[in-house]
Amino acid sequence: MNSILTPNVAVAPARAVPVAKPNNRGHRVRLVGGYLLAISLLLALTIYGWDYYTLDATQRPFSAKHALLKPSGAIGLKLGFVGMFIFFAIFLYPIRKRWAWLMKQGNTRHWLDIHILFGLAAPFIIAFHASFKFRGFAGIAFWIMAAVSVSGVVGRYLYAQIPRSLNAAELSRKETQELQAQLSQQLAEQRLLPPANLREMLSLPAPEKVESLSFLVAIPYMMLLDVSRVFRVARLRRHALRGMEHITTLGGLFSTGHRELERAIEVAREEASLSKRILFLSRSQPVFHAWHVIHKPFSYTFAFLALIHIATVMAMGYGLF
């Protein structure tokens, strides 16, 4: 099996040894800015609206904040428009896959990051717009959107597990293995780490065992391996820690000041992650495919209901100004 690409499923690009690409910096800054903006907006709304949103529906009209925070209120309506903008932004990602001109714009990973930012923010923004009262068509659309958003988190995990091509992933694994052997030898010479410890971090279940796992078990197992790797790395770091470093690195959970050690750990971690992704490919790929099959109809049902809601509200004469 050379290529694992399937017609409808765009898969993640294989990464070699992690190298920060220069054009990623601007994207990362904008992305972090977007998350900070969304979190600040939601925090401000929670603090300002707490006493209103916690009121009973019958008491709300008597609140001084009702005119502002009800769905058709000065703030509530603007939140609805923000939600509408987010709605269109979310669907740009699937539209891009089918629109050749848009496909040429930017990088798929960056578009997916933006899709995820908006997909995570949307349920919260819409919940504030609806003032936490979910009724009728719009209410059903909200719950479908929330379910799609939660399922997106699982999809994102699976997406990251699938290398674009097995050849590239194998090549990348070979390069990482060579580099890792070189670095662990250097560390052993400097007496920073015994080589056996790096090897322990790379230990994975046997391929026959993985093949015998059901899909339901294999995916949580992969997640467990990812989580356990964090603690294995911490254990590894503890070999090189001195005095206060045990506290400043929280027992090895955070990076130490040892450049060579961190580089070796990074390479070993990359190799472990790549080997795991290749090992579990026969399990993760069909599950990701099935996830797509479920994610799409729910997304489009949500889009349909949301469009009815938007059209109805527009027809009633509500506008931004």
Cβ neighbours, 10 Å, residue 24? 14
Q: Does residue 34 touch ligand HEM according to CB under 6 A?
A: no
155 binds ligand HEM (CB under 6 A): yes
Nearer to ligand HEM, 48 or 298 (CB): 298
Q: Which of 15, 27, 66, 156 binds ligand HEM (CB under 6 A)?
A: 156
- Is residue 261 at the binding interface for ligand HEM, with CB under 6 A as the rule? no
Neighbours of 46 (CB within 10 A): 12
Residue 122 engages ligand HEM in binding (rule: CB under 6 A): yes
* 115 binds ligand HEM, rule: CB under 6 A: yes
Cα 234 to Cα 240: distance, rounded to the nearest angstrom: 10
DSSP 128-141: HHTTT---HHHHHH
Among 71, 80, 152, 163, binds ligand HEM (CB under 6 A): 152
Residue list 69-98, contact with ligand HEM (CB under 6 A): 90, 93-94, 97
Neighbour tally for 72: CB within 10 Å? 13
Of positions 77, 84, 148, 264, contacts ligand HEM by CB under 6 A: 148
The residue among 159 and 280 lying less far from ligand HEM, judged by its C-beta, is 159
Q: Which is nearer to ligand HEM, 88 or 231 (CB)?
A: 88
CB of 194 to ligand HEM, least distance (A): 39
- Choose which of 4, 6, 10, 68 interacts with ligand HEM (CB under 6 A): 10
In angstroms, the Cα distances linking 21 to 11, 45, 146, 161, 276 are 19, 37, 33, 21, 24
Answer yes or no whether residue 252 interacts with ligand HEM by CB under 6 A: no
- Give the residue with the Cβ less far from ligand HEM, 53 or 159: 159
Residue 173 backbone dihedrals phi, psi, to 5 degrees: -65, -40
- CA 313 to CA 309: how far, in whole Å? 6
Residue among 226, 223, 253, 231 nearest 241 (CA): 253
Number of residues interacting with ligand HEM: please give it, by CB under 6 A: 26
In whole angstroms, what is the distance from residue 224 CA to residue 221 CA? 5
Q: Which residues on adjacent β-strands are paired with residue 12? A: 163
**Options 31, 41, 120, 168; binder of ligand HEM; rule CB under 6 A:** 120
Q: Does 164 contact ligand HEM by CB under 6 A?
A: no
Q: State how far the Cα of 44 lies from the Cα of 23, in Å rounded to an integer.
A: 32
CA distance 272 to 277: 9
Contact 285, 159 (CB under 8 A): no
119 belongs to the binding site for ligand HEM (CB under 6 A): yes
Residue ranges that bind ligand HEM, judged by CB under 6 A: 8-10, 90, 93-94, 97, 112, 115-116, 119-120, 122, 145, 148-149, 152-153, 155-156, 159, 292, 295-296, 299, 302
